[in-house]
Structure 1
Amino acid sequence: MSNEPQQWEEPVIERPQYMRWLERWKDRDVIKVVTGLRRCGKSRMLDMFRTRLLEQGVDERHIVAINFESLDEEYPLEAKPLYDHIVARLAPGRNYVFLDEIQHVADFERAVDGLYVRDDVDLYITGSNADMLSGELATRLTGRYVELRMLPLSFREYRSARPADESADRSFERYLTYGGLPYAAVLDDEQDIADYLGGVFNTILVKDVARRHPKIDMTAFNEVAAFLADNVGNVTSATGIAGAMQQSRRGISPNTVRDYIAAMLENYLLFRADRYDIKGKAYLRTLEKYYLGDPGFRFWFLGKSGGDIGHRIENVVYLELLRRHRTVRIGKVDSTEIDFYASDADGDHYYQVSMSVLDERTLERELRPLHRIDDNHPKTLLTMDRIGNGNHAGILQRNLVDWLLD
């Protein structure tokens, strides 16, 4: 038996939403910044885009691609030497430059800025850290970049990677449990999936979290992450998490918990959904909720235990709404809660999520907050029910799986 480590090669899965974005911004005078969770498909997406460029007639000599985590070739890891290295490889005319995981380059913002101002470069960069756009890069390049935030596979994309004879409901059961990282979508053995997800999480922990936070207590960090994975969709505070962990005989302060949550947020392991007062048109600073960047991390931390399936479904809906609407928050209407309030250029959208509303009292409870919203924006109730779907006085009830496949 070979002792070589298993290579996790991402499969080729069509990501039409992201491909359209890349084609829309091609040759436009802005830097294309692609961010997202490790292994969510950033590198593969840009590889597919480079193939598209070749199909459109771009000469391969006009494409420069560097992956700073690849061991196939050594590249300068400081700004000026990197800039000189790339310029030396440019061909006469338009060049497409791709810099993958650029955060490994010291003062990379200077190299990016220098390449951007050249008339012969169309620049694309990727990174796995959300803070990449909140520091020097954003300061230097305000108004000169656009961001594509990539997420793991949508359920529609996930279905395309599964066997054709697998039912949509069976695929969704897998998706809900194992998540949407591209490689996990093509694995069938449960232990293989667990090993893969553990490898992704530990890579983030070692390459990203520990590098930026060298004094971090890895054991405590894992315990906080596991707690959050088991409480997606619940109102969660740092003080509450610290108290729960003290009960399990591990002392940890609320400030440390906040630091660990910030580290998970900056590496897309976690997303925070803030609360918004819909009637008062005001953002609220308390009672936020957290959702995993990929539902599969819950399986890695906690195994296949059932947990609250309603909140796990909420996690899937939250990520899907981020794909469709960009901005997603928890809604407050008087003393009631709307699961998700989303807004975009088309206006506001309101969503309730429930496992089932076949019980009349449950249906009434889920519809009540939506009825209290006095506007004509779309209101949707998503459930796993296959019967009872339709219109409830302007509120559209839909099967969740069907909605995900839209």
Structure 2
Amino acid sequence: MNDYYGGVCNTVLIKDIIARKKIADPHLLERVAQFLAQNIGSLNSVKSICDALNAAGRSISVNTTEPYIAGLTDALLFHKVGRYDIKGKELLKTGHKHYLCDLGFRNYLLDNERTDFGAVLENVIYLELARRGYKISIGRIGVREVDFAAVSPDGGLEYYQVALTLRPPGVFEREIAALEAVRDSHPKTVLHLDPDPATQHNGIRLLNALDWLLEDTTS
């Protein structure tokens, strides 16, 4: 499969982005792609990405980094997701996350290095929400973050937290706290991979992510 993803990735990177954006350093473009793949689901900015690459020994400026990232998102290799202030009901201009269009590219770009399964699960949930036609933002409520504030095709707002497991000490409380801080009546769900039946906590649905992925959404 790596040969397949390598072929597609090289076609997108070389024939599309490099030619269309007139990229001067293809190796640096690949390094930017690797950084984004390694940090899916992490809040970042053009400056923070630039600083991280410079700290790793790659000399790159903000003015160079920005079109490289734009090329990767314009080619739909990565999806850029902005932040939404839940209390203020407005999109924020700073901070965003990137998610891969296909997680197979992550294995190729990072040469199958040890996987952060929590970030991978978050990427999977993002892709499924997008497939279902949701408009997706990262929610902010005070100092807390809601993984996804998603508007359904019929206009309804829903909130989602994603956690690999809720069982370690403090994890359940942390994931629930962000949703409990949202003082509205829109549906709230925590998705996890624990083999537990669906339940609720103070009106917040707790659901196995695999069960959610297999839900019938045709009705």
Q: TM-score, normalised by structure 1?
A: 0.51
Give 1:214 shift.
Answer: 2.6
**Which residue number in structure 2 is paired with residue 285 of structure 1?**
93
Q: Check if 1:335 corresponds to 2:133.
A: no
- What whole-Å deviation, never above 9, does each CA across 1:144-192 have from its counterpart, x for those lacking one? xxxxxxxxxxxxxxxxxxxxxxxxxxxxxxxxxxxxxxxxxxxxxxxxx
Contact 2:83 2:95 in 1 (8 A): yes
Larger Cα-atom Rg: 1
Paired with 1:212 and 1:289, the residues of 2 have a C-alpha distance of: 24
Paired with 1:320 and 1:374, the residues of 2 have a C-alpha distance of: 26
Q: Check if 1:366 corresponds to 2:167.
A: no
Q: Aligned to 1:212, what secondary structure does the other structure show?
A: helix
Give 1:346 shift.
Answer: 4.0
Paired with 1:280 and 1:271, the residues of 2 have a C-alpha distance of: 24
Paired with 1:274 and 1:246, the residues of 2 have a C-alpha distance of: 24
Contact 1:238 1:255 in 2 (8 A): no
**Which residue number in structure 2 is paired with residue 31 of structure 1?**
none
The one-letter code of the counterpart of 1:366 is E
Give 1:217 shift.
Answer: 1.2
Paired with 2:80 and 2:138, the residues of 1 have a C-alpha distance of: 10
The one-letter code of the counterpart of 2:175 is E
Report matched runs for 1:226-305 at 5 Å: 226-305=34-113
Paired with 1:274 and 1:218, the residues of 2 have a C-alpha distance of: 27
C-alpha spacing 1:379/1:325, structure 2 compared with 1 (3 Å) = farther
Calculate percent identity across the aligned residue pairs. Answer: 42
- What whole-Å deviation, never above 9, does each CA across 1:239-266 have from its counterpart, x for those lacking one? 2222222233221111111111100111
The one-letter code of the counterpart of 1:248 is A
Q: Aligned to 2:132, what secondary structure does the other structure show?
A: helix
Contact 1:209 1:263 in 2 (8 A): yes
Paired with 1:388 and 1:357, the residues of 2 have a C-alpha distance of: 13
5+ residue gaps, structure 2: none
Q: Aligned to 2:131, what secondary structure does the other structure show?
A: helix
The one-letter code of the counterpart of 2:121 is I
C-alpha spacing 1:277/1:337, structure 2 compared with 1 (3 Å) = same
Give 1:352 shift.
Answer: 0.2
Contact 1:325 1:342 in 2 (8 A): no
- What whole-Å deviation, never above 9, does each CA across 1:120-167 have from its counterpart, x for those lacking one? xxxxxxxxxxxxxxxxxxxxxxxxxxxxxxxxxxxxxxxxxxxxxxxx
**Which residue number in structure 2 is paired with residue 210 of structure 1?**
18
Paired with 2:185 and 2:138, the residues of 1 have a C-alpha distance of: 19
Number of residue-to-residue matches in the alignment:
214
**Which residue number in structure 2 is paired with residue 183 of structure 1?**
none
C-alpha spacing 1:384/1:340, structure 2 compared with 1 (3 Å) = same
**Which residue number in structure 1 is paired with residue 205 of structure 2?**
396
Give 1:306 shift.
Answer: 2.2
Give 1:403 shift.
Answer: 1.0
Aligned-residue RMSD, C-alpha: 1.4
The one-letter code of the counterpart of 2:161 is Q
Q: Aligned to 1:205, what secondary structure does the other structure show?
A: helix
The one-letter code of the counterpart of 2:102 is D
Q: Check if 1:197 corresponds to 2:10.
A: no
**Which residue number in structure 1 is paired with residue 186 of structure 2?**
377
The one-letter code of the counterpart of 2:29 is F
5+ residue gaps, structure 1: 1-192
Give 1:374 shift.
Answer: 1.7
Give 1:341 shift.
Answer: 0.3
Q: Aligned to 1:276, what secondary structure does the other structure show?
A: strand
